């Protein structure tokens, strides 16, 4: 009897997926967002110093929402397929984004079938949770015919990021919404002038990172060694300021040297690990002008600056040979 009842439930679920619940005036909404990579300033940005982030247009996601006849919210994604009420904890930021976006748009409960199709790796410090939240806000706004400005979308992202990471600087939310490099400090975003072509290679360590855990670890280290850690944070912020003129002049060699210095400081903050260190060294050995972890660290990805487009492919090959599970390229240049 237990097997028979379960089978009927499975069939009902399959039927729901194949023929979704519709209502008079059934509508569809779409939203899109891309990943980001922190070039310089991660961790220090939490304490008010600046950071620079670059967009990763090759890593993006799309959210599609359909209205339902009932008030259920159903989610379909690579991580989960089912009811929002029963979603696992790792999906709670997504569910928070849905409810926050609905409150800003329809203003009342509304049934949704929501699908996430993503090319952004999860738990790699690339802003996947912020990108999902931004795309959800845009999709629900599209569905309801609501004009959500950038600040409203950012409010949705911040609600989700608070669940995902605890205390959030707000950088990810701004970076996944920007099509160009940004400098972020104290909640304020400034455009970064680019006077040349910078080709970056991103490599996945194969290990998930936890931004919340890494941020908490730095906070504990600072409580124990305040003078030392404040000095590291201050220098990370100064590196960001120095990098702005290098971006503007197109000086790749000098920017790479700052990336290497930033990595050494992040090692002292104890947010790197053996796998990230190995990939950083492999990138430098393969000709990268500079290489460092990007994001929270303790897993996740590294970012390496290639001398040019032609050498970037060789750099990707070397990083995969050194153990990277995936690699990507991104180019930042004058618009």
The superfamily in CATH containing domain 193-332 is GHMP kinase, C-terminal domain (3.30.70.890)
Task: State residue 26's pLDDT score.
Answer: 67
pLDDT of 288 over the 60 cut: yes
Name the residues annotated as catalytic. Answer: 172
Tokens 């090959």 belong to residue:
317
pLDDT band of residue 107 (cuts 50, 70, 90) is confident
Q: What is the mean pLDDT of residues 41-49?
A: 92
Which residue would you say has higher pLDDT here, 123 or 150? 150
Task: State residue 5's pLDDT score.
Answer: 34
Fold of 24-185: Ribosomal Protein S5; domain 2 (3.30.230)
pLDDT of 9 over the 70 cut: no
Q: Which two tokens stand for residue 71?
A: 């008030």
Q: Which of 51-65, 109-123, 124-138, 160-174 has the lowest mean pLDDT?
A: 160-174
The pLDDT > 90 percentage for the chain reads 77
Residue length of the chain: 335
In this structure, are residues 57 and 34 in contact, taking their beta carbons and an 8 Å threshold?
yes
Q: What is the mean pLDDT of residues 119-139?
A: 93
The secondary element (H helix, E strand) that includes residue 301 is: strand 301-306
Task: State residue 335's pLDDT score.
Answer: 62
Distance of alpha carbon 255 from alpha carbon 242, whole angstroms:
9
Q: How is the chain split into domains, by residue range?
A: 24-185, 193-332
Long-range contacts of 241-248 (CB under 8 A, 24+ apart): 241/50, 243/39, 243/40, 243/52, 244/52, 244/183, 244/192, 244/193, 247/52, 247/181, 247/192, 247/193, 247/194, 247/195, 247/196, 247/198, 248/193, 248/194, 248/195
């Amino acid at each position: 009897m237990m097997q028979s009842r379960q089978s009927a439930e499975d069939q009902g679920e399959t039927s729901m997926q194949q023929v979704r619940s519709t209502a008079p005036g059934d509508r569809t909404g779409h939203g899109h967002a891309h990943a980001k990579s922190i070039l310089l300033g991660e961790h220090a940005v939490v304490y008010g110093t600046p950071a620079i982030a670059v967009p990763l247009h090759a890593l993006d996601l799309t959210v599609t929402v359909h209205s339902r006849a009932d008030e259920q919210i159903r989610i379909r994604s690579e991580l989960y397929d089912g009811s929002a009420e029963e979603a696992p904890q790792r999906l709670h930021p997504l569910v928070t984004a849905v409810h926050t976006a609905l409150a800003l748009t329809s203003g009342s409960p509304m049934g949704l079938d929501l699908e996430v199709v993503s090319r952004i790796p999860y738990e790699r410090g690339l802003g996947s949770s912020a990108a999902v939240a931004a795309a959800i806000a845009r999709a629900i706004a599209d569905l309801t015919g609501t004009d959500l400005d950038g600040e409203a979308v950012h409010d949705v992202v911040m609600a989700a990021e608070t669940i995902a990471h605890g205390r959030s600087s707000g950088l990810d939310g701004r970076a996944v919404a920007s099509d160009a490099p940004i400098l972020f400090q104290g909640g304020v975003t400034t455009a970064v002038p680019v006077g040349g072509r910078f080709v970056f290679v991103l490599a996945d360590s194969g290990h998930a990172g936890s931004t919340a855990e890494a941020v908490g670890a730095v906070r504990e280290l600072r409580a124990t060694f305040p003078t030392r850690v404040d000095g590291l944070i201050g220098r990370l912020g100064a590196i960001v300021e120095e990098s702005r003129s290098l971006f503007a002049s197109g000086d790749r060699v000098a920017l790479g040297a700052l990336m290497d210095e930033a990595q050494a400081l992040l090692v002292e903050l104890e947010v790197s690990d053996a796998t990230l260190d190995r990939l950083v060294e492999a990138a430098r050995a393969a000709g990268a002008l500079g290489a460092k972890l990007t994001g929270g660290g303790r897993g996740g990805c590294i970012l390496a600056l290639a001398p040019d487009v032609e050498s970037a492919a060789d750099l990707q090959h070397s990083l995969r040979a050194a153990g990277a599970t995936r690699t990507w390229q991104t180019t930042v240049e004058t618009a």
